[in-house]
Amino acid sequence: MHKSSSQLLSKMAEGQGGYVVALRGGRDFLQRITSQGLNIGSRIEVVQNGSADGGEGPVVLSSGDSRITIGRGMADKIRVRSRVTIRDLQIGQRARVTGYATSDRDYRHKLLRMGMVKQAEFKLVRVAPLGDPVVIELRGSNLTLRKTEANAIEIEVITSP
């Protein structure tokens, strides 16, 4: 389990932000939500959550330069977390290293020696059947990361799968 737990988009407070980490719906839901620009890894901020009289209305959020309005039912199918990690990516998605979620200097140096420097771009290639380890393509080479290593790298998603 990740250090920061996810929550439903429909339960987020106005002004609260995070990253989309799960889209739990059928094919029609996924097509509709991704056509509006929301994918796993998208950075969002809640602008308005529900109507002024009790929270039963739509959810308005911003993602990049866009404002998106979705119904409460759709918002109940989207999970958001304060940060996104490599393990949240889907195979084929590209991302960029933005920082490190560890205060252990030796461990950060190990990540740097592996090429996981800030702004390094990579692609998720493979995930083991039980989720550990993951394989990423970094600068033309495949790199295998254990769960703890993958969780220690803060990322920004660049492309959808």
Domain ranges of the chain: 7-81, 86-157
Q: Could you say which architecture CATH assigns to the domain 86-157?
A: Roll (2.30)
Is the pLDDT reported for residue 135 higher than 90? Answer: yes
Backbone angles phi, psi at 132, to 5 degrees: -145, 120
- The token duo for 50 is 């529900």
Question: Where does residue 45 rank: exposed (0-12), middle (13-18), buried (19+ CB within 10 A)?
Answer: middle
Q: How confident is the model at residue 11 (pLDDT cuts 50, 70, 90)?
A: confident
Q: Is the pTM of this model over 0.85?
A: no
Q: How confident is the model at residue 123 (pLDDT cuts 50, 70, 90)?
A: very high
CATH number of 7-81, picked from 3.30.1310.10, 3.20.20.140, 2.30.30.90, 1.10.3720.10: 2.30.30.90
- Round to whole Å and give the CA distance between 41 and 36: 14
- Round to whole Å and give the CA distance between 93 and 95: 7
Average pLDDT, integer, range 107-122: 85
Same fold, 7-81 and 86-157: yes
